Structures are given as C-alpha cells and as structure tokens.
Structure 1
Amino acid sequence: MEDLTSSNKNQLIDFTQLKKLLIRLLKNWYWFAISVTLAIALTYLYSRTLTSQFASSTSILLGEEVSNSPEQAFFKEFNITNGNQKIEDEIAILKSRSIMMDVVKTLNLNFQYFVQGRVNALELYKEDVPILVNFMVADSVVERSNLTYYFQFVSTTEFKYSTDGNFFNKSGAFGKQFETPIGNMIITPKIDDIMDYSGVNFVFRLSNVRSVAESYRNRLNIAPNRDGSSILIISLSDPVNDKATDILNTIVKVYNGIAISEKEQLAAATSNFIDERIELISSELSDVDNSAERFKTGNKITDIDTEADKYVAADSEVERELNETGTELSMAQYISDYLSKQKKYELMPSNLGLSDKNLEGAISQYNKLLQTRNRLLNSSSEENPVIANIDQQLEGLRISMKRNIANYENTLNIRMNKLREQENRINSKIYSVPGKEKRFRNISRQQQIKESLYLYLLEKKEESNIALANTQPNAKVIDPAFSNYAAIGPNKRMYYLGGLLFGLMIPFLVIYIQDLLDNKIHSKEELQELLPSVPLLGELPRLKKKKQQRIKENDRSPFAESFRLLRTNLDYFIKGRKDSRKIIQVTSTIAGEGKSMVVYNLARTIVNSGSSVLIIGADIRNPGIDRFTRSLKGAKGLSDYLYDDNCRVDEVVQMTPELEHLWVVKGGKVPPNPAELLMNGRMKELIEKVEEHFDYILIDTAPSMLVTDTLVISELVDHTIYVVRANYLDKKALNHVKDVYKNEKIPGLMLLLNDVESSNLGYGTRYGYGYYGQKKKKGLLSYI
C-alpha cells in the first residue's frame, strides 16, 4: 500500500513538473513565434542560394571475361563471398582518377560558363554557351591552372572584363588575344546576336583538371544491380542535367576504350611472338630443304623405293607423334626463353595451343593480373597495398610458370625418348633399307617437323589476327545515361523542417538554461519543498504597475482579494495559538522584498473588517512605511520616541486621515545607533501602553539576515510574518529562515510569498481572484 502511495505521489510530481514546464513554455510563446519566423526566413534566404541537382544513371553489363573469370568461378564453386572481388575491382577502375581525368579532358569539364544572377549563378552547357574560349598556351598548362573572369558584352565586337566581378575596367575585342596570368586567351562568339546577354555578368571559370576529376569522382555512385550481379548501375548528380548524362556515357566509353586497348596489346604481343618464331622456323625450314636438295643431287636420288612397306606405316605414325611432340617441345622452349628474357612486368603470349592447360591458365591469369595492375597504377602508386598484393601474386605466378614449363619440357623429353626408342626398334627391322635412304629419311623427318611447326605457327597467327579484329569491350551498355529532368535536391522541405526545429529549439534551450541557472523562488510549491516544516500564510500576486501597491476603498482587484485571504489565514493561525495577543511583526531576509507594502495593505484590509490597527515603523534604518504615510509628514516617529525620554506616546501615534481606525507610528529620522535605541526599553514601554487600545499591532521591522533589530523586537511580539519575494530571493538565503525557525529565534513564524507571477499562483492557473459571479476573460493558460 505504501509503495502504491509512493508511486502515485511520484506520478503526481512528474505531472506537476510537466505542467509547470508547459506553462513556462506557453507563457513565452511569443519568443517561439519570433524565433520560428526568423529561422524560416533565414532558411528561405539560404535555400535561394542553393543550386538544384539533377540525377542521371546508366546500367552496364560486365563482359564474360570479368563476370566468368577463373577467380569468380572458383569462389562461386565454393560459395565464398570474395567472389565479388573482381567486380569490385572493375568498380574501382570505373571510378579511377585516370578515367575521370580523361572524361574531364574529353568533355572540357574544366571550362565552366555561368550567368550571374542576384543570388546565385546559372551554369550554361554546350549549345547554351554563347562564346568559345581558347588559350594560346600548351594544354598541359591549361589543365593545371585555375582562373575566373567576369564579362560584360558591350557590343557585337567588344566586351569588358574583370577578375573580381566588381570593377569592369578592362576592355577586349572578340577574336583578339588578351593577356591572362597563364598566357593569352581568345574569346569568339558562338551565336549571331551576342547582345542577348547584354546587361548581365557572364562568368568563365577555368579549373584544375585533377580537382574537377576528384569532384566528380566523389559524386559518382556505382553499385551492382543486386548482390553477385554483373550488372552495374552508375549514377551521378549535377546542376546541369545534360552534363551528368554526358559524363556517364563518356565514362563507359573511356572504360571500354581502355579495355579494348589492353586486349589489343595482348593480341599484339602474341602476334609479335608468333612472327618472331615464324621467321626463325622459316629460316630453319629453308636450311633443311636445301639439305634435302643437296643430298638428292649429290647422291643422284630421284625416287626412294621402300622394301618393308609393312613397317613404313608404323614408322610414319611414330614420326607423326615425334613431329607433334617436337612442335610442343619447341613451343615450350620458346616460352621458357621468352619468360627468362622478359622484363618484370610485360604481357605473356597466350592461346598458343599447349596441351598443358594448367600452363595456359597460369599465363592467362598472369596477363589479367598484370592488366589490372597497370589500370590501378593510373590512379595510384606502387606503394598501394592492393598493387603490392598484385605484385606478390605476379611473382608467384612467374615462379609457378617457370616450374610448370620445366615440368612440361621434362614430360615432352621423356615422350620424345620413348618415341625414338620405338622408332629405333622399327628401323632395326627395316634392315634392308640402304644407308643413303636412311640418311635421307632423317633429313625428311627434320623437314616434316619444321613444316608442321611452321604451319602450326601460321594457324596461330591467323587466330590471333581474327581475335584482334573481333576485340569486344568489357562493358555492354544496357541503358544509356538517362534523366527525367526532375531535380532531386536540395530537399527544401527538409531545410524548412530543420529551420522550424531550430527555431523551436533556440528559445527552448534558452528557457531550459535559464531554469538550470535559476536560483530564485518562484512558487509556493518550491518554497514549501525547501521549508516543509514552516507554515505558509499565503501568497501575493505580482503587480503590473508600482502605483498599484496601495489597496483602494472597495477594491475588487486580485491584489486586494489576496490580502483579504491573507487576513483570513492570519486570524486562523492566531486562533490556533494559545496566546491571543495580536502583536505581529513583519520582516524579510533582505531589503526589497515588500514587507512595508505588506504591513500597510494588511493593516488597511484589517481596518476594513471593523478592527483597529496600529502600524509601528520599527525599521528605523530605512523607514519604508513612511512612503505609505506621506500625509503624516512632519510628525515625530519611533526614533524620536526611543531617543527622547520626554517624548510622549500621543506625540508619535498618529491617526491616518484616509482611514478612521488606522493609526501609525512613523519610523522617524534615521539614528546613528538603531540597535541600541531598540534595546533601551522604550520600545517595550511603547507596546505596553498601546496594546490595550488596538485590536492589531503590526510592526514593520528591518531585514532579519542583515541586522539584529528584528531579533531584538522579537521578544515583544507574538507572531511573525516572514515575507519572501518570488523571483528575487536566492534559495540559499532560505537557510537563514530555516535556522531562525528551527532555533525559535522568532516567535510564531509564518511565510508569505510575495510578487508571484500569475502562472505560478496556486489559484491563478484556472480560477484567479475576484468575487463570485464576476466575469473574467479566459486566456490560453486557463485551459491548462
């Protein structure tokens, strides 16, 4: 049950705090309105400076050589995710700096043209550009330069220009050179009526090719259509729609051009290798042919008759195998020699028809890795970890190829030896063949081997030429670059939403920080939370004007009603005490909390109920009660009575002219020794003489934390109204009140919270003050 009560209490506290926060925010609604209005206005101005962005995209299908590479097949077979590495490499190549720089140079993207508006500039492109700019310097100088020129077209032949857009103090003529920091420049009109652009500032901007390429690389997006797909979606956004489309189409074109060039280089390397071997074999074949001719001529042999026909067929088969094996061995030796003499990073001849498919595969993989390395080097350096990894793979492949070639040659030599042994066995049976015929057969065999190798190389040369003629690009364009000409950014709705949130956040943060730094008392809840054991007499609302501090006759204002409620509460507290005397002192912690105002208005309220009241201005250091009794100017005061033993009571007790039953003892002149005067016994004597003549005695005393006057007078009073001013007194000062109450230094202490804002009044949030039946206007806060 206790836990439930505690939970309900915590919920009530949370609701109260939330309600208090909402009231605090609503009370400052105008700051939110001003802040949001300014934020939206600034957002509008900022959004006008933003340039619209248009998106364009294209889709390409990577060729079979990329998507079905040996590495891809291996990874797919074993379901390893790194199977996408080749596609990722191609994406990196598409986004490489070298390709983008080629695109920039091809489209002259480092040349930009604008028409300057009041807020921002409108970029022109292609046919929209009215002039043609040429530099009379090398392209290499232009490509690494940055320039900006502003033009105003004066006539069809002349223009003015500036470098800052402010002072057009230089003139030039169309078609004539004028000097720039990087060399002479010529401007030529592209349209007949150049004066269509009169009255506007035309801007030409030359940018460094590398920086422009980097800008577009950062904006370029490339991703597979889906995971593992060979279809790539390439997209780009730019303020000029057609420019984005041209850039995407040119990227694909340059990429395919590089791929075709690499394939042509590989085919050319293979063709050169074959041409060298054909030239060598042709020379060797010519020597063998000459040897055969000389042998026949020298031995007068015109026809060779075979005596052992049944062995000839077997011998011919062996010779055919010897020819094929000899051809493969020669090719293996050629490749071994090429690999030994080759520079470190050169393409290997491929598709030579070797029977060792592992060796053919290693050569193909070596060439592809080498091409990938060369492409990456266009936008990176050899210290790049990716290139270093490729170098390690290439070195491993070279070692592997050398080992494979050695094994391949060894296998072919073993086969050759076996075939020769078989041939010797057959030849031993053909014992009747003459020696001349044997020697001629040896020459003929060499001739056939050379012829077979020569014909094989011619066949491979033709295949290489056909492959070179049918070179296909790596990427097939599925959809050319396309845009729907609808701006994708900036998202102004998000900017306005951000402006709205920012406008709401600023006053909220200001109010929140104010609350964090606030150390003042604002409401009776805060006061009761800090001083829970001290009785609370009531609270007084804040006055809009200082002139309203006096209660008038028949006053029905909330301020007057608060004092009527205060009078009722005071009577209730006094009746609850054993001592029925109504000698009450009114004090505060520091000056300026409104105790004198409370004394005067409380006295008037009590008098209006038919009781007689005497006000004693005991704050003789700063007699604040005198401000409310200016009609008694010139009368003696308390300080006079305390100082002069001959001064009579009837000389200081004065009736106010405005109220019959309200009497006042003014503070009088400020003495040099207030505390000593209050302790001389005359104050006690005064109270004893007047207490039986008045229903209430209200004593306005000095602030209790600053001087000892209040503690001196406390011995003479029965009750104490302790005034705490809201939004004024520091919370730490309440420790003084706690100490005074705990140690009973002041009798009958009751708290009165003064100057409370209407939103913090315990009754002001819904009902307010006023007589029953009095009509009042309802505000927004009344519904909270």
Structure 2
Amino acid sequence: MKENFNTSQENTRLKEQLKQYFQYWPWFLLSIIICISLAYLKLRYSTYNYITEATILIKDDKNASLSEIAVFEDLGLTGSSLSKSQFENEIEILRSRRLLSSVVNNLKSNIHYYKEGNIKTSELYERSPFTLEILSKYGDKNRKETGSFLVKVLSDSEFEIQQMNSEISNTYSFGEPFDVSFGTIALVAKQNIKEPGNKVNFIVNISDAENAVNRLRNSIKIQSVSKNSSILKLSLTSPQIIRAEATINALVEAYNKDAIEDRNLVSKNTAEFIANRLNIITEELDSVESDKVDFKEKNKITDITAEGQLFLENSNEINKRQVFMATQIELLRSMVEYLRSSEPYTLLPANLGIENLTIVQAVEGYNELILRRQRLLRSSTDENPLVLEVSYQIDQLKENIEDNLDTAILSLIIEEKDLRKQQNNINGKISQIPSIAKSSRDIERQQTIKESLYLYLLQKREETAISLAVTAPKAKIVDSAYSSKNPVSPKPRIIYLSSIVLGLLIPFGIIFIKLLFDTKIHNRVDLEKEIPTLPILGEIPSIESKESDVIKDNDRSVLAEAFRILRTNLGYFIKSKQNGNVIFVTSTIKGEGKTFVAYNLAITLRSTGKSVLLIGADIRNPQIHRYIDKSEWTIGLSEYLFDSSVEIESITNKPEADSQDFDIILSGRIPPNPAELLMSDRFEKIIEEARSKYDYVIVDTAPTLLVTDTLLISQLADTTVYVCRAGYTDKKLLQYPKELFDEGKLKNIAFAINGIKITNFGYGSKYGYGYGYGQEKPSVLKRLKRALRIGKS
C-alpha cells in the first residue's frame, strides 16, 4: 500500500510539472510554427548538394580475362597482379595534382557562372547563356587568372560587363575580345540565348586554377569497395550534377590515358631497337647471299657430292645447336652494346627471346624502376630523396645486368668452343669431301644464322606492334558517373524534424529557466505547499488595464464571481470560528492588493443587504480615496484619533455610485506618529462602536512586514484576511504570516490570493473559473492573447 501511495504521489507530481508546461501550449505552438517557417525558408533558398559516384576496376591477373588483350596472353602482353601497395599507389595517382590539373583545364572548372536572384544567387553550368574564353594571357607570371564580373545581357548580340567592386561598365558584342587584368577574354553566346531584359544579371567568377585543383582534391573521395577487391569507388558531392559527372568521367579518362602512355614507353623503345637490328641483319643477310651466289657461279656447282651426305647428316644436330648458340651470343652482345651506348635511365628492350631467365627478370625489374623514376620526376626534381633512392637502385641493377650479360656470353662461348671441337672431329671424317663443298657449307651456315635472326626479329616486331595497337585501358569502367536523385544535404525531413524539436526546446528551455528561478506564488497550490495549515478563502483574478477594478451592480464578470466565492467562504469561516464581524484586511508588503480586496469585499457584502463599514487604517499610505474620487487630504481616521472633538459621523463617507451603498472612513492626513495614534483608546472606541452599528466592519490595514501598525491593533480583529498576490509575493515571505499566527500576533488568519491568471485558477485551468452565465465569450484572438500572456489577462 505504501508503494502504491508513493507511486501515486510521484504521478501527481509529474502531472503537476507537466501542467506547468501545458498551460503555455500557445507558446509551444507559436515557436513550432516560427521554426517550421524558418526551416521552409532555409530549404527554399538553400543550395542542394547531390552525390555523384562512379566505380572502376583496376585490372590484375585475377581479372585479366576481362581485358581486351587477353587473346594475346601467349605473347606476354597481360599485366601482373597488383599488390596492396601498388593498389594504394594507383589511388594516389588518381588523386594526383597532375591528373586533377588536366581535368580542371579540360573542363574549365575554375570558371563559374551565376544568375542573380532577388534573394538567392544560383550557379549555372550548361544553362549559362554564354561562355567565357581566355584568348591570351600576359607574360607576367605573378598575375593570376582571377576576377569576378557582373554581366547584363542587353540583347542576343550585346552585353554590358562590369568588374565587381567597380562602378565602371562597358558594352561589348558577343565574341568581341576585350582586355582584363590578366589578359584578353571574350564572351561567346550560345545558340539558345534569349534577351532577358534588364532584370536578370549574371556573375562570372574566375578562380585560380591551383585553388580549383585543391578544392577538387579535397572534395573528391576515392576508396576501395572491399578489402579483397580491386574495384574503386569515386564520389563527389556538388550542387551541379552535370559538372560533377563530367569531372569524374574526365578523371577516369585522364587516368587511363596516363597509364597507357606509361605502358607504351617500353614497347616504343623495344620497337626502335628491333628496327635498328633489322636494318643491320638485312645488310648482313644480303652480303651472305651475294657471297653464296658468287661462290656457286665461280665454281659452277649446284649441289654437294653424295659422298659427304652421311657425315653431313651426323653434323646437322651440331649445326642446329651452333646456330642457337650463335643467336644467343649475338642477342646478348647486342644487349651489352645497347646497354653501354644508350643514355642513362633509358628503358631496355624486352621480350627479345633471351634464354637466360635471370637476365630477363633483371631487365623487367630495371624497366619498372625506370618508369617509377619518370613518374616521380613529373611532380618532383632530381634532388628528391625518393628519386635519388630509385636512381641508386637503377645504377646497381644496371651493373648487375652487365655482369650477368658478360657471364652469360662467356658461358655460351665456352659451350660454342666445345661444339666446334665436335664439329672438327666430324670435319676430319669428311676430309675427303672437296673443299668446294666445305666452303659452300660455311656460306650456307652463315646464311641460316642470319635468316633465323632476321625471322626472329620480324616476329618480335609484329608482337611489339600488336602491343602498341591493342592498348587496353588500365581502369575498366564498371559504372559511369551517376548522381543521386535525392539531395544529400540539406535533407528536408531532418530539417523539418529538427525545427519541430527546436520549436519545442526553445519555449521549454525558457519556461524551465523561468520556473527554475521563479520564487513567486502563482496559484493556491503554491500557497498550500508553503502553508498547508492555514485556510484559503478565495482567488481573485487579474484584470486587464481596460477593465474596471471595481465590482458593479449585477456584475457577472469573473472578478465579481471570485469575490462572491470569497464572501461565501468568509461567511463559513466566521461561523466555524464563531467570530465577530470585524475583518482586518492586510498583507506582507506593499502592492499585493489589500485595498483592492477590501473595497470590493465591502461591495460584495453590501450586495447581500448587510450594513458595511470600510475603515482605512493604513494611515501611512492611504489608497481608498482613489475608489470614491475623494482627495487624500479628506478628513478621516487620523483626525479622529488625534482630535477627541471629531465625531464618527463627521468622517463617514459614502461612494458616489448607487450600487456601492456602504459607509467609508478614509485614512485622513498622514500623521507624523501613526503608530502612537493607532495605540490610542479612540481607535478601540471606533472599532467597538462600528461593531455594534454595522453587520460587517472591514479594516484596511498597513502591511505587516514593513511597519508595526497592524500588529498594534491586530487583537481588535475577529478575522484577518491576509492578501498575497500571484506573480508578486515571494514564497519565502509566506513564512512570515505563519510565524505571526503561530506566535498569536494575528488572529484567525485566512488567505486571499490576488492577481491570479485565468489559467491558474483553482487546481488548474481545467477546473478554474468559467465565464459568468449570460456573459459573452471572448473572441479567439482575445483568448489567444490571454494564453500568450499579452496584457494583464
């Protein structure tokens, strides 16, 4: 049961907290409407950004079957697989300033066109009615191609141009050259240009190409699709979809073109080497064939004698091996000659058919280092540490290749000598063959060697030509650049949702801070929390400045109904205490409305047919005279207390209004010694006489905290109506009347709360006062003003 009770208390406290915020619901609604309106304006005039993406495949052995040159795999034209570091290198190449600079220059990405609007200036790309062409530049390198121009199209042939931050404007024809700060330019009109009139202005902005490259480098993103894939995703966020797609496609195209140029460098050098060797071999072959013809003509022979046929067949295999050895020696010597006579850091010919695998692999590694050094030199100098390191590796590898070539040649020469010994043995056996046949065989052997080498070089020349002709791009386009249909920023749903949240948080924060630092009472709940033991007679609503603060005859306003409830509760309170008819009305401090409550309470009590006397006992700060249109110097209580000759009848007044038929004793002149006057026997005498003559005696006394006047006469009261004011009385001050009651300084205290807002009546606006019967309901605008706390409602 105790847990249920605690839970119920927590729920009650939570409801009370929520009610404190719910009563300000118009502020929440207004804040949400304002925030949503601001969000709409932001979305209306914001520049929407879209993301453009493309995917490419960097080819390797695993996807070589996708290559256009896969049919030439037997010729060694397919690439090698990419390692992780090589793959990352390709990403850096894609992001290199060299490639991005070519993209910026090709697309003229440093030139932007804008259309001026009343509020928003929009960027144009293909929709621009003209394009800017830079015809020539000044020789001064310090002058950058930058500038902003305001262009006003006058007709389909003329325009007016003005440099930004300048008042000088000139008129030119489209296509007419004119000079600017960095050179000569011209505006070229498009075919779809229309005369927009004088209301539309265009802005042309030329930024520095280097800055444009930096912006593109920072905005473009390149990342791998997955760890085990060689597919790259290129993305670019931009408000211009067409420009972004063109930029990404141009970047991929520039990357492929650069890769093809790098790959063809080796093939071109190989082709040049083969062409030179073919020229030499052709001359040597022609010489051998000429010698053979001359030999046969001189000796008049057409065939070798049959006697040496058997021995010749036995030596055939040795001859084949000699031909192969001679070919290899010739190739190796040619390679040595080319290596020693070529310029430093020149690519070596590859795929010549050298049998020694060590030399072939060393040549491939040497060419890879040469290409790497050339790529580094494109963006750095010879003094770059990376370039020096690669150059050192190239020099070391070149020395190793020379040593390997010399070793291989020496090995082949030794093997060739051994073959010659074998051949000499066979020649000894065919010593009987005529010398003519031997000489003829020597000539034919030389011819065969030259023909073999000639045919071999012809084959390599064709292979090299094929590799040059069939140049597959290194990056295969998986998906060309495409853009998202929905903008990535700003996102309307998030903006509107954020505006709603912000619209709730702003008033919530303001109200929370207000409640956090608010130490005033606002309704009877606040009063009951501070002083739960003392009764509350009623709640008096706040009134607007235009409304009357005095109850009228047959008044059915909220104010009148509130005082009627106060009158009823006061009657029950007096009966329960068996008190007399003397009612003191007081407060803690000035400004809480005790005089206002006392005067209207007198009117309400008189409306029941009772006789009522209102006495102004606050002789330090009299206020009752304001309600009956009398001067504050009118004779009253202070004169009566001071002068024993003054009678009660001489100081008794009546209000001028017929509905306010009760007697009033004003405070009179402000005396120098109010406390002493109130302590005299004459004040007790006037109270006793009024008690016997009137049904109700209402005494408007001074505030208890500021002066001691009320405490001096408090024992004469039968009931004390203690007035506090909502939104004015501090909660800490409520402990003072409680102390006065506990100490017996004030008798039969009952509270009246003045100045309560309509929404704070009772235990919440739902159960507060309604409108009087027959009273016209306020308009929606008036109720909204009250809810927003406009005026004094």
Q: Sort the TM-score into its range (normalised by shorter chain).
A: 0.7 to 0.9
Q: Match of 1:160?
A: 160
Distance of 2:681 and 2:234 partners within structure 1: 101
Q: Check whether the contact 1:540–1:559 (CA below 8 A) recurs between aligned residues.
A: yes
Deviation (angstroms), 1:566 = 1.8
Q: Match of 2:73?
A: none
Deviation (angstroms), 1:637 = 1.9
Q: Match of 2:262?
A: 262
Alignment partner of 1:713: what SS?
Answer: helix
Q: Return 13-22 or 357-366, whichever deviates more.
A: 357-366
Q: Match of 1:8?
A: 8
Q: Match of 1:591?
A: 590
Q: Match of 1:72?
A: none
Q: 1:772 to 1:349 in 2, by over 3 A?
A: same
Q: Match of 1:78?
A: none
Deviation (angstroms), 1:741 = 4.9
Q: Return 90-99 or 309-318, whichever deviates more.
A: 309-318
Q: 1:328 to 1:239 in 2, by over 3 A?
A: same
Give the number of equivalent residue pairs.
746
Q: Match of 2:760?
A: 760
Q: Check whether the contact 1:66–1:87 (CA below 8 A) recurs between aligned residues.
A: no
Q: Match of 1:683?
A: 683
Deviation (angstroms), 1:535 = 3.4
Alignment partner of 1:9: what SS?
Answer: helix
Q: Match of 1:201?
A: 201
Show structure 1 runs of 5+ residues with no match: 70-81, 297-301
Q: Check whether the contact 1:116–1:122 (CA below 8 A) recurs between aligned residues.
A: yes
Q: Match of 1:722?
A: 722
Q: Match of 2:210?
A: 210
| Equivalent runs, 1:362-401 vs 2, <5 Å | none
Q: Match of 1:100?
A: 100
Distance of 1:531 and 1:358 partners within structure 2: 104
Q: Return 257-266 or 317-326, whichever deviates more.
A: 317-326
| Equivalent runs, 1:479-518 vs 2, <5 Å | 506-507=506-507, 509-518=509-518
Asked if residue 19 in structure 1 is aligned to residue 19 in structure 2, the reply is yes
Q: Match of 2:470?
A: 470
CA displacement 1:443-462 (0-9 Å, x = unmatched): 99999999988986775555
Asked if residue 673 in structure 1 is aligned to residue 669 in structure 2, the reply is no
Q: Return 538-547 or 310-319, whichever deviates more.
A: 310-319
Distance of 1:422 and 1:155 partners within structure 2: 93
Q: Which amino acid aligns with 1:184?
A: T
Alignment partner of 1:520: what SS?
Answer: coil
Q: Match of 1:63?
A: 59
Distance of 1:271 and 1:459 partners within structure 2: 11
Show structure 2 runs of 5+ residues with no match: 66-81, 296-300, 788-793
Q: Match of 2:133?
A: 133
Q: Match of 2:600?
A: 601
Distance of 1:742 and 1:411 partners within structure 2: 122
Q: Check whether the contact 2:540–2:755 (CA below 8 A) recurs between aligned residues.
A: yes
Q: Check whether the contact 1:319–1:445 (CA below 8 A) recurs between aligned residues.
A: no
Q: Check whether the contact 1:587–1:722 (CA below 8 A) recurs between aligned residues.
A: yes
| Equivalent runs, 1:506-545 vs 2, <5 Å | 506-507=506-507, 509-545=509-545
Q: Return 447-456 or 4-13, whichever deviates more.
A: 447-456
Q: With the length of structure 1 as denominator, give the TM-score of the two structures.
A: 0.74
Distance of 1:265 and 1:424 partners within structure 2: 41
Deviation (angstroms), 1:196 = 3.5
Q: 1:153 to 1:315 in 2, by over 3 A?
A: closer
Alignment partner of 1:18: what SS?
Answer: helix
Q: Match of 2:627?
A: 628
Distance of 1:674 and 1:335 partners within structure 2: 129
Deviation (angstroms), 1:146 = 1.1
Q: Check whether the contact 2:352–2:460 (CA below 8 A) recurs between aligned residues.
A: yes
| Equivalent runs, 1:740-755 vs 2, <5 Å | 740-741=740-741, 743-755=743-755
Q: 1:153 to 1:596 in 2, by over 3 A?
A: closer
Alignment partner of 2:724: what SS?
Answer: strand
Q: Match of 1:299?
A: none
Distance of 1:682 and 1:462 partners within structure 2: 139
Distance of 2:373 and 2:703 partners within structure 1: 89
Q: Check whether the contact 1:521–1:728 (CA below 8 A) recurs between aligned residues.
A: yes
Q: Which amino acid aligns with 2:604?
A: T
Q: Which amino acid aligns with 1:605?
A: T
Q: Return 559-568 or 740-749, whichever deviates more.
A: 740-749
| Equivalent runs, 1:37-48 vs 2, <5 Å | 39=38, 43-44=40-41, 47=43
Deviation (angstroms), 1:22 = 1.6
Q: With the length of structure 2 as denominator, give the TM-score of the two structures.
A: 0.74
Alignment partner of 2:699: what SS?
Answer: strand
Q: Which amino acid aligns with 2:59?
A: G
| Equivalent runs, 1:309-708 vs 2, <5 Å | 350-351=350-351, 460=460, 462-477=462-477, 506-507=506-507, 509-545=509-545, 547-577=547-577, 580-630=579-629, 636-652=635-651, 662-708=662-708
Deviation (angstroms), 1:145 = 1.2
Q: Which amino acid aligns with 1:209?
A: A
Distance of 1:451 and 1:650 partners within structure 2: 156
Alignment partner of 2:765: what SS?
Answer: coil
Deviation (angstroms), 1:630 = 4.0
Deviation (angstroms), 1:666 = 1.9
Q: Which amino acid aligns with 1:597?
A: F
Q: Return 655-664 or 1-10, whichever deviates more.
A: 655-664
Q: Check whether the contact 1:636–1:652 (CA below 8 A) recurs between aligned residues.
A: yes
Distance of 2:684 and 2:362 partners within structure 1: 120
Q: Check whether the contact 2:49–2:238 (CA below 8 A) recurs between aligned residues.
A: yes
